[in-house]
Structure 1
Amino acid sequence: MDCLPDGYIVRSFSRLSRLRVDAETILQLLQENQGGNQWLVVLGLPKSTIRKQDEGHGILGNVNYRFQWEGTTGLIQIALSPSHELVTGQLHTAIDRQLYAMGIEFDNAIWLGHTTYKPTPTRGKQGDQVFVPPSRRPIRGQLQGWPTLVI
């Protein structure tokens, strides 16, 4: 948590409905202020809630978010859409242009959409877009290690 910006919120998990209220409050403040804190740290998450957070984005109502966890600690990044999607898309395009300028053909660069990477049973991270070089292309639907870049 040392890398998080000032103002992030820490909660001990009690109920999913309380988590939803916290996420909606952060989103409302982001919309009103056009920026600010977008991080919610959740301590003591049960495995069942981690699974629900990872699998179903409707779990926090209309709040668009990305989720990562280690053990029973979760980190929720509230995404201010559509500006969040715009920035992600522009970065994706800029990287594609640089790769092309270096002589790397588009079919050699793999971009995957929203995917959760789980290097161990107790860790996982969702990304908006991920870049996977040819050496780590999926085999039988499974990535070979972490992607090179996660946006």
Structure 2
Amino acid sequence: MENNPPELSFYSRAVSENSADRVDLERQRLDIELAKLRLLELDKRIELKKLQLLQKEDDGSKEVKTPRLIRPVHEYQVELPKPGNDNIPAVALAVVPVTILYGGRKARTLALLDSGSDSSLILDDLVTSLQMKGKLKDIIISTLNKETTIQTTEVEFEIEPD
């Protein structure tokens, strides 16, 4: 066993802790990216539902419910700490309570809204608790460091604000 000087031991410990912090930060960032992907898919389904309702209204169908804003929108100004790298922009995303409806069952959850995403996703726990049925689909999640393929289940459901 080598006997390292105290300065080297301290340095090794600091590097090890810094690496663990980086791994934790990367894991948190990936979790956020996955949540954004899940919510964007949900956002698209909501927009599609709104378009379908508006189309029914244009057709003169009697079962029309025109989408409307149930609650007023609030604007907040948030100051975010600047990341160490000035090339990485800071983003604040809204989290809102919603109710998911599927097959006569309901579940309350929080939705992370991201208008910049290209699909919306929900957690497997929610799919399981509402006994949702769908088809398997692989999606690719691209981050700054790598691309990851994740197997998902494509489902359809309704969403309403809480």
TM-score by length of 1: 0.21
What TM-score do the two structures reach when normalised by structure 2? Answer: 0.21
For the pair shown, the structure with the greater C-alpha radius of gyration is 2
Higher relative contact order, structure no. (Cα contacts within 8 Å, ≥ 6 residues apart): 2
